[in-house]
Amino acid sequence: MPTEKWRMALGRILNAALKPLGYYIGKTSVPKLTEGWDDIDFASLGLDITVREDVFEDDRILTRGQGEFTILADDLQKIIPPDGHKGKKVLEIGPKTGEHSRWISNSLEPSKFTIVELPMRKGEYDFLDSVNCDHEVVYIDIFQSNELKDKGPFDIIFCLGVFYHTLEHVKLLRHFRNLIADGGILLFQTTALKEPGSFLRLTWEPERAGNYLVPTVEAMFTLLAMTGWNQIEWFRNYRPLAQAAIVTCRKSSVIPKNHSGFEFGRSSV
């Protein structure tokens, strides 16, 4: 019979091996992603939250290499129904394989569709031939260019599976707020930690790009509040077995300021 010490060692090995797939070995084999979420004090953050638990029945696990890191294109219509959202100016950050781009083009029929990618990715996107609406791909570092501001404001911004790849969370969310039209919608999805509490986990592997700064769900909501987003719809049942969260939000009428009187994400010098 294996000893308790042996079982604990095996558990640690399994945790390390299976954690990237969204599994955890311990008191329960696959804990609910909502663990600790009931303790989030949205009122103290000044947030108006609508919890949508009737939208998704999605139990996918994050599986590297199978195109399942973000929301399926077929599920986007459950969040942004095409009726009522056609003919808008749309911005997509990081098109990846183009599944979302094609859905936006075919289902929303934007009056203008702007796709943003980093300069080093130029020439990688064969899917653009199947984007049928009036569209433009802009290869820029959005923090280093005012080009998007000249093309906006945008009615809908898609930021799916991008947030945790940057260290500039506050700056990015503030930038989106400056780009979006009054009444516009930010569709925002990110990898999010299951742990309760408000913190971000920093990861750096010099030999491999990947997740750099991953928030807990409470930290995600805190960052949205700090950067002037509200009227949030939280699709809480989205991928309950994976480390993922998805919301829609609109910019609030007032953006909070820090103790020095400056907006978060804006330099005081």
So what's the pLDDT on residue 180? Answer: 95
How far apart are the C-alpha atoms of 242 and 210, rounded to whole Å? 17
- In degrees, rounded to 5, the angle at the alpha carbon of residue 65 between the alpha carbons of residues 62 and 67 is 70
Residues present in the chain in total: 269
Note the maximum CA span of the chain: 69
So what's the pLDDT on residue 172? Answer: 92
How far apart are the C-alpha atoms of 218 and 225, rounded to whole Å? 11
- In degrees, rounded to 5, the angle at the alpha carbon of residue 95 between the alpha carbons of residues 92 and 96 is 155
Our measurement of the distance from residue 177's CA atom to the centroid of its chain's CA atoms, rounded to an integer in Å, reads 15
So what's the pLDDT on residue 91? Answer: 96
How far apart are the C-alpha atoms of 112 and 32, rounded to whole Å? 40
Q: Which residues of the chain have pLDDT under 50?
A: 14-15, 17-31, 63-68, 268-269
So what's the pLDDT on residue 60? Answer: 60
So what's the pLDDT on residue 30? Answer: 40
So what's the pLDDT on residue 156? Answer: 97
Our measurement of the distance from residue 30's CA atom to the centroid of its chain's CA atoms, rounded to an integer in Å, reads 22
So what's the pLDDT on residue 3? Answer: 58
Give the DSSP H/E element, type plus range, for residue 30.
Answer: none
Query: Which DSSP state fits 254?
Result: S
CATH architecture for residues 33-251: 3-Layer(aba) Sandwich (3.40)
Q: What is the pTM of this model?
A: 0.81
So what's the pLDDT on residue 140? Answer: 84
Show the DSSP H helices in 96-182 as ranges: 99-103, 147-151, 169-179
For the chain, give every domain's residue range. 1-31, 33-251
Contact 105, 132 (CB under 8 A): yes
DSSP-based three-state secondary structure for 90: strand
Tokens at 151, concatenated: 């093309």
Output Rg (C-alpha) for the chain, integer angstroms. 19
